[in-house]
Amino acid sequence: MRWLSVTIATDAEHAEALSDALLALGALSAGIEDADAGTERETPQFGEPGSAPGPLWARSRVVALFERSADLPLIVAAAAGAAGLAATPAYETTEVAEQDWVRLTQSQFEPIRINDRLWIVPSWHDAPDPRAINLELDPGLAFGTGSHPTTHLCLEWLCRHVPAGAGVLDYGCGSGILAIAAAKLGAGHVTGVDIDENALAAAADNAARNGVALQLLHSRQPLDTTFDIVVANILTNPLCVLAPLLTGRTRVGGQLALSGILASQVAQVQEAYRPAFELEFRTEREGWALLTGRRRC
């Protein structure tokens, strides 16, 4: 089967209404993109949690998918009217061939080597090094699959610093990747905490798949234990807000590792954790920093 994709030039004022109208007129899918994507005029539409969303792009485009039999000139004209446009906007159509979308998606995700000791391997791949520790983790709801530089930094650090039998806390555990890695690296007891119920469900599934036991808690649940190692891969602002909590969960002499921090934000995070920690900035990957230290008091 083949489909038709239509791309319609529009503006921020009409983009959402035009997308909704196309869906109402039979589009199989519809989305809004930056018409200047890939140029110096490209405008990001994301920020840290709690930040106010920005306006849509002044130069937008709506991309919708239709069955091949759809009457696109009629549909685009009707959608333009429903969206309040005075005239039918310019648009382009392309034919989309049938593909094995599952195989195509899987082909984009290869095993990820953290170091000689640790690999992240999608379930449809054989482990490149069966002698290594292999974490089976599939790209799914994107709570962490090992591909982001901050996750990579944390995993490298855990490989070097988890002693046998250690108690480990992964705060903001997402998919559970850091907690699962800690368990496979020899930790004795591992706890994962997250604010998102879906993340906790994903972490539980991933832990079972990898044959490890995790204690998984929602962030609203009480947590009174102290740990030998606390790791948090979140973002700078939440890490600063969480400084008293994460400090309190790290035993005196225990280690703390923080990531999700841009290199330009290192001093801000270091200050938030003083005087309990003198966090050291030793590692950077693609502009992201890892801060580590031992609790002094």
For the chain, 297 residues long, give each residue's pLDDT as a single digit of tens.
Answer: 678 999 999 998 999 999 999 999 999 999 999 888 767 676 655 443 333 445 678 889 999 999 989 999 999 999 999 999 999 999 999 988 765 555 545 555 688 899 999 999 988 888 999 999 999 987 654 456 677 899 999 999 999 999 999 999 999 999 899 999 999 999 999 999 999 898 899 899 999 999 999 999 999 999 999 999 999 999 999 999 999 999 999 999 999 999 999 999 999 999 999 999 999 998 899 899 999 999 999
Angle at 72 between CA 67 and CA 73, to 5 degrees: 170
Examine residue 73 and state whether it is found in any structural domain, yes or no.
yes
Last residue of a domain, one of 82, 98, 114: 98
User: Is position 185 within any domain?
Assistant: yes
- Per-residue pLDDT, 142: 41
Range of the domain at 33: 3-98
pLDDT for 53 equals 47
Q: How many domains does the chain have?
A: 2
Whichever domain contains 199, its CATH number is 3.40.50.150
Task: Write out the two tokens for 175.
Answer: 């998919």
Q: What share of the chain is helix, strand, coil (3-state, %, to 5)?
A: 30, 30, 40
Residues 171 and 289 in one domain: yes
Closest by alpha carbon to 181, among 161, 164, 159, 213?
159
Question: Degrees (nearest 5) of the Cα angle 45, 49, 54?
Answer: 30
DSSP-derived 3-state class of residue 214: coil
Please answer whether residues 127 and 184 qualify as being in contact, where contact means their C-beta atoms are separated by less than 8 angstroms.
Answer: no
Report the CATH number that the domain containing residue 25 is assigned in CATH.
3.30.70.120
With H, G, I as helix, E, B as strand and everything else as coil, classify residue 128.
coil
Residue 71 pLDDT:
95
Please report whether residue 104 resides in a domain: no
Neighbours of 220 (CB within 10 A): 7
The helix or strand, by DSSP H or E, that contains position 291, with its residue range, turns out to be strand 288-294
